[in-house]
Structure formats: structure tokens, C-alpha cells
Homo-oligomer: A and B are copies of this chain.
Amino acid sequence: MPRVVVDVMPKPEILDPQGKAVLGALPRLGFTGVTDVRQGKRFELEVEGELTEEVLEQVREMAATLLSNPVIEDFTVAVETTPAAVETVS
């Protein structure tokens, strides 16, 4: 069954308190070398049938209306072809 991934991230100009909290916690845990952290959401959608351009357009509409707030968030819609589609190192 095809899987579509929607990533929702706070826009660059929007303050991200969750990311800042993680960034602040890292040195306290002994981790150094990270200069910025942004936290967003990831949605994995299982879609029925074939992944046509029409279906992807529907997913983009879902992302813009339900999954993200376009005023403060950006989103990307990506088709997950295989679990190794991105350069996964863990």
C-alpha cells in the first residue's frame, strides 16, 4: 500500500519553543556541536489504491487544511517509495 509522508515544520521566521527547549537541553546532557534545532511534525498516510497525481493533490489539500497551519508552518508532501528512499544512517 503506497505511503505518503507529510512533513510539517514551523516557518523559519516563526519562533519554535519546542526546538529551543531541545537545543537548551543538549549541552546539559553533554552533547555539543548542535547550533540549532527545529521541531515539527511528521505524518505517514497509508493511501488506498494507486498514487495518482489526483491523490497527491488531495493529500496536499489535507496538509494545507488539517495537518498544518499555513500561517505559521510549511509542509512538504513526499512519496515513500521504499524505507531506504532517504539516506538513513540508523
Q: Do A43 and B38 have beta carbons less than 8 Å apart?
A: yes
The interface of chain A, by Cβ under 8 A from chain B, is 1, 7-9, 19, 22, 25-26, 29, 31, 33-49, 55-56, 58-63, 65-67, 75-79, 81, 85-90
Q: What would 12 A/B residue contacts be, using CB atoms closer than 8 Å?
A: A31-B58, A31-B62, A34-B47, A38-B43, A39-B42, A40-B44, A63-B90, A76-B86, A77-B89, A79-B87, A79-B89, A86-B86
Given contacts A34-B62, A77-B88, 18 further A-B contacts (CB under 8 A): A22-B43, A22-B67, A33-B47, A33-B49, A35-B46, A35-B48, A36-B45, A37-B43, A38-B44, A39-B42, A39-B43, A40-B43, A41-B42, A42-B42, A56-B90, A76-B88, A78-B87, A78-B88
